Chain A
Amino acid sequence: MLGFVIRRLLVAALLLLAASFLTFMMIQLAPGDYLAQLRMNPQIGDDVVEQMAERYGLNDPVLVQYGRWLGNLARGDMGFSFVHERPVAGLVWEHLRNTIFLMTMVILVTWLMALPMGIYCAIKQNRLTDRVLSALAFVGLSIPNFFLCLVVMWLAAEIGGIPVGGMTSAHYEYLSWGGKVVDVALHMAIPVLVIATGAMAGLQRVTRGNMLEVLRQQYVTTARARGLPEHRVIYVHALRNAINPLITIFGYQFALLVSGAALVEIIYSWPGMGQLILEAVLTQDLYLVVGVVLGSGLMLILGNLLADILLGVNDPRIKFGERGAS
């Protein structure tokens, strides 16, 4: 198992290296650079702009720039953000943790709601509740997140009481400890609800499908025939098998949510990676863009790794590191 993890991490490092190289090239291929905005400012002289280009090394050939960046990375330095005038690592971490916080809540809500709903639908297949929940799932799947976000925000503004953007209220620091928790929870309500709607719908459908398939298996019939109580049959025997494919989904979802959250984060002014990505790309803040790509890439890889490990824990038949095993 340990060998497997190490091997996966090595491959991941190569992947990230390739991703960083491609990102670097793409930013460089795009016309203009970070200094464009300054060139259009009548009050900033050309010599100052030229001085900055020199200091940031923007006049060097692309490969030289990349090599230098790589060398610094080996020493644990992810580079310097031109726009923010500070090291990229700290900047990425400050935003990444807010995104992780948001996504953890989204994943909790998604799974806590979707799993029971999926199971319930499978057991009550084709009854009214199943049909209603399925219909809702399709609606949830088909509404684009950004649109739903705007609609919910408008509703919240009309009703009042729920904040429509940001992570904390303007009077946050005057609140008691409990008040702070409620404040952040309320600020999370809309983004979590919006992102969870889409994710939940899909997960619920998959759970239902898997569960239905497993329930038709012979061992379920056998278990029932041997007189096991129905809840044991469903929650212990059937669910454990039905959940396997879902764990794979979990890994992908973790990564997808990071990118899917970006849009909602931007609309909702959540201080996460979305804000950072958009700004970095628009201003061509080279090292920050690469840093952000590395950060997101790392999340994707860790998500997948986590899923694989969980898969092994859940299903003893899966062996790590042996030929032919996944």
Chain B
Amino acid sequence: MRRLLLLLAGIPALSGCGLPEPTGEHRNRLVVSSVSPPRTFNPVVARETSSTDITDRLFIGLTRSDGVTGEVLPYLATEWESSDGGRAWEFTLREELQWSDGEPLTAEDVKFTYDRLYLNPDIAASGRDILTVEGETPEVTVLSDTRIRFEYSEPYAPFPRAAALGILPQHVLEDRVDAGTFESAWGVGTDPSSIVVNGPFMLAEYRTGQRVVLERNPHYFERDENGESLPYLDRVQFEIVQNLDVQIQKFRLGELDVIGVTGQYFPLLSPERDRFDFRLERVGPATGTTFLAFNMNTGEDPETGRPYLDPVKAAWFNDVEFRRAASYAIDREEIIRIVMNGLGHPMWGPLSPSQGPFHYPDVRRYPYDPDRARQILDEAGYIDRSGNGIRQDPDGNPIRFVIVTNAGSDTRVRMAQMVRRDLADIGLDVGFNQIDFNALVNQLSFTFDWEVVVMGLTGGPDPHFGSNVWLSSGGLHMWHPMQEEPQRPWEAEIDRIFVEAVREADDNRRRELYSEWQEIVGEQLPFIYLPNEEMIFAIRDRLENVEPAPLGGYMHNLERIAVRDE
């Protein structure tokens, strides 16, 4: 018994001694967190942000996208020019570029990367789509060690942005490609020293499910204004923390240096800024969109001959007045107040203001006005004739539908529930259902038997890369995907804009075209946009040069982030 008591007494004694303190050089590093472990260190097959957040530091491309403005900037290439009306693009590489193993990086590596990796039909490369225009891929020619030419058969204006794809070393990977095993090369089990990179950091260690450690690449070319070589940091560590509450606690305790937080946590962290030495920076609405979409699919299942969606419902959803009434009925301020703790922004068009140069601010808005919504429905013939509180269409069918969204995204579920209530308020009989994400995608991509959905899409600076959503032939053209011919005049108009804009070399003209597209979307409402959350970052005081932005997050200028001397 005495022994037992000793054992019990030992537990608090052990915990009382606190965490052991490290010895030696360890201060010049940044510790951040990642919600899930990386799946691969191969940038060609990397798809999820948990992998690309890391590979983006390891492999850099000819160009880069400015993390704040979304502008295309030189990176491995110093300059580029187009000829033949935007069909040919010629890039000039920096002199004396090196891989992290000291080998020279030349135009041959670039050709190898494009021809044999991204454009290789045997490799499921996620980047291939953005290099393809009207089904065509470019022909790549090496002109000299530092000059390379890409040639399309059709003009491709946004090509410099696509050229940000990471370049990989031919001398290391050629054998794997020849052997047909490239896709499994550089998986997470790889010996870090065998991964040869050209970015500011290289892989030092991956501890399965726990952390990824990057260290400074001594062969990285970039220098700061004073001629000091970048990056400043010796190390960057990604701690894998799945649970967001644990992330916050780890940040408070000083184990993490930067975290992104949502409005929910803002009041929790705000009063603790002095106690735990950090600042909170609000940088504006998130990129990407969340929206309400009505299924307008009038197609039939070719096997059974039955329509995908009840034609009665398809008729309501195809009525633009019906969609406009729905948009007026949504109380966006209330959603921001309740779901986002007041830290959010209403969205009216397909591009978030944070998404850079193509955002068009003057799209049609639908401020909360339930009376107007009711009036629109009345005028369009959706009237409650039986007096039971539910409106009926002119043929007497009660207006009844179900909103679905994916379970697991708390914000999205809560938004969908509030939308349901708002729509019920104007006399529609609306149900709500949450299903598993994969099951929902199955409905959106294959069975097309959904009615109304609340979904989200990610978004970058250039609208062209959303073609799959906006072209009426696109697979993600959710409200009526994969049409052979656009069935609605405004869809034909959008198709025309996208085809024209990708060929247009003049930036101002492209901007005009995409503004026109945003205007049409605002008028026709295939998607009714719901608010975006404010992006907030909590940043430890000892860090310098952290300039978070919605587009690039806090890591877009990682090579310039430094730790202040104390």
Report which A residues bind B (CB closer than 8 A): 30-34, 36-48, 51-52, 55, 83-86, 90-91, 94-95, 98, 112-113, 116-117, 120, 150, 153-154, 157, 160-171, 173-176, 178-179, 182-183, 185-186, 189, 266-269, 271-272, 275-276, 279, 282-284
Prevailing SS type, chain A contact patch: helix
**Complex Cα gap A283–B37 (Å):** 13
**Minimum distance in angstroms from B150 CB to a CB of chain A:** 19
Q: Which of A84, A113, A176, A269 contacts B187 (CB 8 A)?
A: A84
Complex interface: chain B residues within 8 A of A37 (CB): 48, 437-438, 441
Considering only residues 169-214 of chain B, those with a C-beta below 8 Å from chain A are 183-184, 187-189, 205, 207-211, 213
**B387 interface residue (CB < 8 Å to A):** no
| In the complex, chain A residues whose CB is within 8 Å of the CB of B210 | 166-168, 271
Confirm or deny: B226 has a beta carbon within 8 angstroms of a beta carbon on chain A.
Answer: no
Q: How far is the CA of A166 from the CA of B130 in the complex (A)?
A: 38
**18 pairs, CB–CB < 8 Å, chain A vs chain B:** A31-B442, A36-B445, A37-B438, A40-B455, A42-B466, A85-B183, A86-B187, A90-B189, A95-B208, A113-B7, A161-B15, A165-B243, A166-B211, A170-B239, A171-B22, A183-B20, A269-B241, A271-B209
CA distance A272 to B208 in the complex (A): 10
Q: Once the chains bind, are A165 and B40 in contact (CB under 8 Å)? A: no
Check A284/B438 contact, CB under 8 A, given A164-B249, A268-B246: yes
B18 CB within 8 Å of chain A? yes
B19 interface neighbour in A86, A95, A174, A186, Cβ under 8 Å: A186
Q: Which residues of B have CB within 8 Å of A284?
A: 438
B486 close to A (CB within 8 Å): no
Contact status B439-A275, CB under 8 Å: no
Does B424 touch A at the CB level, under 8 Å?
Answer: no
A43 engages B438 (CB within 8 Å): no
7 smallest beta-carbon distances between A and B, as pairs:
A32-B438, A271-B209, A45-B129, A36-B441, A174-B22, A179-B20, A165-B246
Residues of B with C-beta under 8 A to A117: 4
Q: Which residues of B contact A98 (CB under 8 A)?
A: 209
Query: In the docked arrangement, what's the CA distance between A168 and B240, Å?
Result: 11
User: Please, how many angstroms separate the alpha-carbon atoms of A150 and B249 in the complex?
Assistant: 11
- Residues of chain B within 8 A (CB-CB) of A112 are 7
Chain B interface (Cβ < 8 Å from any Cβ of A):
1, 4, 7-8, 14-26, 31, 36-37, 39-40, 42, 45, 47-48, 124-126, 128-130, 132, 183-184, 187-189, 205, 207-211, 213, 237, 239-243, 245-246, 249-250, 252-253, 255-256, 408, 436-445, 455, 457-460, 465-469, 475-476
Partner of B126, one of A33, A48, A176, A178: A48
Instruction: Identify which of A84, A113, A116, A170 gathers the most chain B CB atoms within 10 Å of its CB.
Output: A170
A279: chain B residues at CB < 8 Å are 36
Among B7, B22, B208, B242, the residue within 8 A (CB) of A269 is B242
Chain A residues near B445 (CB-CB < 8 A): 36, 39
Contact of B39 among A39, A85, A120, A173 (CB under 8 A): A85
* Minimal beta-carbon separation of B47 from chain A (angstroms): 6
> Closest B-chain residue to A94, C-beta based?
B208
CB-defined contacts of B24 to chain A, threshold 8 Å: 174
Residue of B nearest to A82 (CB): B39
* A189 near B15: Cβ-Cβ < 8 Å: yes
Query: Which residues in B have their C-beta under 8 angstroms from that of A171?
Result: 22, 26
Q: In the complex, A90→B1 CA distance in Å?
A: 44
Interface contacts beyond A48-B125, A85-B39: sample of 19 additional A-B pairs, CB < 8 Å, sorted by A: A30-B436, A31-B438, A31-B443, A32-B439, A37-B438, A40-B457, A42-B457, A42-B458, A43-B126, A46-B468, A161-B15, A161-B19, A163-B250, A165-B243, A166-B239, A170-B256, A171-B22, A174-B26, A179-B22
Q: A51 to B437, Cβ gap below 8 A?
A: no
> Are the C-beta atoms of B252 and A157 separated by less than 8 Å?
yes
Residues in A whose Cβ lies below 8 Å from that of B48:
37
A-B interface pairs (CB < 8 A), number? 210
- Do A43 and B255 touch (CB < 8 A)? no
Interface pair A36/B437, CB less than 8 Å apart: yes
In the bound assembly, the distance between CA atoms of A116 and B20 in angstroms comes to 32
Q: CA A95 – CA B465 in complex, angstroms?
A: 38
Residues of chain A within 8 A of B125, CB atoms compared: 48
- Decide yes or no: A165 and B241 within 8 Å by CB, A33-B438, A175-B22 being known contacts: yes
> Closest CB-CB distance, A158 to chain B, in whole Å?
10
- Cα distance A91–B42 when bound, in Å? 17
Contact A32 B45 (CB under 8 A): no
Q: Would you call A32 and B253 a contact (CB within 8 A)?
A: no
Say whether A269 contacts B246, CB under 8 Å. yes
Q: B438 contacts A36, CB within 8 Å?
A: yes
Is there contact, CB below 8 Å, between B40 and A84?
yes
Whether the pair B124, A48 counts as a contact (CB closer than 8 A) is yes
Complex-state Cα separation, A43 to B476, whole angstroms: 10
- Provide the bound-state CA to CA distance between A98 and B184, in Å: 25
> In the complex, are the beta carbons of A182 and B255 less than 8 A apart?
no
Taking CB atoms, residues of chain B closer than 8 Å to A170 are 31, 211, 237, 239, 255-256
A266 proximity list for chain B (CB < 8 A): 242-243
Closest residue of chain A to B460 (Cβ to Cβ) is: A43
- Of all chain B residues, which has the CB nearest A285? B39
CB < 8 Å neighbour of A164 from B25, B250, B437: B250
Quote the shortest CB–CB distance from B198 to chain A (angstroms). Answer: 22
Closest to B467 in A: A42
B residues less than 8 Å from A36 (CB atoms): 437-438, 441-442, 445
Residue pair B465, A43 in contact (C-beta under 8 Å): yes
Residues of B within 8 A of A55 (CB): 124
CB distance from A292 to the nearest CB of B (A): 13
Which chain A residue shows the least CB distance to B457? A42
* Other-chain residue from B23, B124, B245, B408 in contact with A52 (beta carbon distance below 8 A): B124
**Out of B184, B208, B468, which one reaches A85, CB within 8 Å?**
B184
Chain B residues whose C-beta falls within 8 Å of the C-beta of A174 in the assembled complex: 22-26
- With A41-B47, A42-B466, A271-B240 given, is the CB distance from A95 to B129 under 8 Å? no
In the bound assembly, the distance between CA atoms of A276 and B23 in angstroms comes to: 33
| C-alpha spacing A304/B436, complex, angstroms | 35
Contact B189 A182, beta carbon cutoff 8 Å: no
Contacts of A43 in B (CB 8 A): 126, 129-130, 460, 465, 468
Q: Contact between B437 and A42 (Cβ–Cβ < 8 Å)? A: no
A40 to chain B: closest residue by CB = B441
A276 to B437, CA, bound (A): 18
